[in-house]
Amino acid sequence: MSIAAISFGILHASNGLEINPISTSDLLATLESGQVRVFDARSDFEREVDGYILGSELLPMDTIFDDTEDKPDLETFKPKEDGPTMVVYVSDKGFGARKAESVLKSLGFDSVRCYFGGLDEWKASGGDYEFPRFVKFQALNTLLDRDEILLIDVRNRTELNTVGQIPKSVCLPLHEVELAFDLSDEDFQARYSFPKPQGDRKDIVLTCRSGRRVLVADRIMKTKGSPIFGSIPAVSRIGSSKTGNTTLPTMIWSMISCRNE
């Protein structure tokens, strides 16, 4: 029997949901056993702002049944024969959980379990989590408003003086990135007017005009070989994962992706 679990922040008893819950401790234990496949049915915005359970897969509830060329392959979401138990979590109240349950059952899952903890409880309990590699404009604004990120603009100063700078951002030009991290903490602060990022920072976001320069900056940082950047996997957002070996989590944001939406 294939089982799925859904989680969301608050469940109202009056909403008629009959979902069998799974606790944070049980979910952690199940993940450690390797007998679970985790799906995230929340919005891109929630994932970009709050992160998501490490290793979970996006369940695109809004597009999963679309009749378009871009619709996802349903076979990738269906239960696999002799495969692991499947867990799905969403942060929506009521309707979001009911919708996810309906989607899971239509894909062939026999029963649905619900993880109620949400990401706050998950993080507080020591659960591993990560962030998407890219963050869109709405999420970026929210993170800036909350003062939860350090937004580093890698454009040159002449360009910023001409076209303007994103409020609350700081400037570290791309051509200076490599040498900048060879400076002492004091010299870095004196030159760039913000503290030199250390290995325990989990709030760094890179930005430029088109997205190309942040990718170059990302690549340069990975080659530094310092405790800050040395253990960052090339396939993920720079330092995106929160695990026992903390690296420098960095989102990469591109203005052009906002204009194209």
What does the domain layout of the chain look like in residue ranges? Answer: 3-130, 137-259
Beta bridge partners of 152: 170, 206
Q: What is the CATH number of domain 137-259?
A: 3.40.250.10
pLDDT of residue 200: 60
Alpha helix positions (H), the chain: 24-33, 44-50, 95-106, 118-124, 137-145, 157-163, 177-180, 185-192, 212-222, 255-259
Return the DSSP state at 242: B
Alpha helix positions (H), 34-92: 44-50
- What's the pTM value of the predicted model, to 2 decimals? 0.72
Per-residue pLDDT tens over the stretch 121-148? 899 999 998 888 788 888 888 989 999 8
Per-residue pLDDT tens over the stretch 160-197? 999 888 889 999 999 999 999 889 999 999 999 999 87
pLDDT at 230 over 50: no
* Domain 3-130 shares a fold with domain 137-259: yes
- Of the candidates 131, 126, 115, the one whose C-alpha atom is nearest the C-alpha of residue 9 is 115
Classified as helix, coil or strand, 134 is strand
Kindly report the number of other CB atoms within 10 A of residue 45's CB atom.
13
Architecture per CATH, 3-130: 3-Layer(aba) Sandwich (3.40)
- Of the candidates 151, 154, 156, the one whose C-alpha atom is nearest the C-alpha of residue 166 is 151
